[in-house]
Amino acid sequence: MTNQPYGGGYGYGAQEPPRTPYQQPQSQPHAWPGQGYDDPYADQQHTQQWQGQTWETQMQPPVAAAEETSYLPPQGVAPVAPVRVPEPAPVAAAEPEPEYGPATLAGNARITDAQRARAEGRSPVIEPGMQPAVLTAVLGLLLAGGAALGTYALLVPLVVLQGVTAAGWFRLNGMWPARQGIALGFLGALVADAAMLLSDRSPGVILGTLGVWVLLSLVLQLRSHADPDERMYGLMATVVAAALAIAAGGYLAADSDAVVVGAVAVAAATVVRALPVATAASVVIALAAAAGAGYAVGGMTSDGALLGAGAAVCALIGHRAASYDYPSRFVHFTAGVALPLAAAGPVVYTLGRMFG
């Protein structure tokens, strides 16, 4: 018999079994009196209490008192009064847009005057007025005076007419500056004039020069890097500008008497057309005035009256073209001045040959 209690404990004098490295000695559980075995719940009854600060308690900030966390304004600075945000105002009812007034040359920031006129059912036309008509009359009288003096005297106002025609047509089509097209059309007119002087004012030179210049216009537009639509538009503008400028050379090919009658008739018709009269009435009066001027200047003959009326018809067509689509002031003083005379050039030559 040994005095070792049941449960595997070691009594006095008993030897402990050898301990392996890293093995800690086991604490002996406290035995209840009168019991010969250990209490398995002894470890749960004696819990160790830590009195010092641990790592967790050191890392947590100290809890401040409620008085310390209350907001206090800075010392020496007056507290800022709270900003009152105004309540949103009620949305005002949308006011109707003002109606457009009468058409003007100044235009509109949103739509053009021509678009506004079409939307309102009005004609998108503004006529050049009296000042361009007076300039047309002056240029026509210069042509008539130059024709009476001689061929080279007629050439000076004719060159001015051809240059203004080319520039005015490009600007009328909204293409500006378009220096190449204007220069090409004007150069064609000069070439045609020089060819007529060298060929004793042969009218066939006009058709030949016009054909060559159409080919040059095609080459010019083929070299352009613009869109196909823009190139086609530029081609048409260049061809028409050159055609009008070259066709104005009909004054140089026509007989001097026919030039005098036609130029005076155009001057009279343009001035009368600019009078503040209804359109239909002013057209009739302008044709009558042109026929009367042709009759007076043409030796009191019916041929002169017919020549004057025919030149006036072409002049009024050119006047109408220069009035279309709300043109600018520059258009009025270029195309509005030159187109009536330029359009009448071929008719003056044709009717002059017919009436001898």
The answer as to whether 318 is a domain residue is: yes
The answer as to whether 30 is a domain residue is: no
Cβ-proximal residues to 268 (8 Å cutoff; 6+ apart), any chain: 137, 286, 289, 290, 292, 293, 308, 312
State yes or no: pLDDT of 354 exceeds 80: yes
The pLDDT tens digits of the residues spanning 302-336 come to 889 999 999 999 999 999 999 887 777 888 999 99
What are the distances in angstroms from CA 64 to CA 55, 56, 68?
20, 18, 6
Q: What number is the average pLDDT over the span 20-44?
A: 50
Say how many residues make up the chain: 356
* Residue tagged 């081609």 (tokens): 235
> What mean pLDDT value characterizes the chain?
77
Cβ-proximal residues to 240 (8 Å cutoff; 6+ apart), any chain: 169
What are the distances in angstroms from CA 170 to CA 133, 183, 200?
20, 11, 31
| More confident of the two residues 287 and 28 | 287
Q: Which of 91-105, 183-197, 200-214, 249-263 has the lowest mean pLDDT?
A: 91-105
The answer as to whether 297 is a domain residue is: yes
Cβ-proximal residues to 170 (8 Å cutoff; 6+ apart), any chain: 176, 178, 181, 182, 185, 237, 241
User: pTM of the predicted model, to two decimals?
Assistant: 0.65
Predicted pLDDT at 217: 85
State yes or no: pLDDT of 86 exceeds 80: no
The answer as to whether 115 is a domain residue is: no
The pLDDT tens digits of the residues spanning 96-123 come to 544 444 444 444 445 666 677 778 877 7
Predicted pLDDT at 310: 94
The range of the structural domain enclosing residue 287 comes to 130-355
The pLDDT tens digits of the residues spanning 157-172 come to 999 999 999 999 988 8
Number of domains comprising the chain = 1
The answer as to whether 306 is a domain residue is: yes
The answer as to whether 5 is a domain residue is: no
Cβ-proximal residues to 104 (8 Å cutoff; 6+ apart), any chain: 113
The answer as to whether 62 is a domain residue is: no
Predicted pLDDT at 270: 95
The pLDDT tens digits of the residues spanning 2-22 come to 444 444 444 444 455 555 444
The answer as to whether 273 is a domain residue is: yes
The pLDDT tens digits of the residues spanning 54-78 come to 444 445 555 555 455 444 555 555 5
Structure tokens at 226: 């613009």
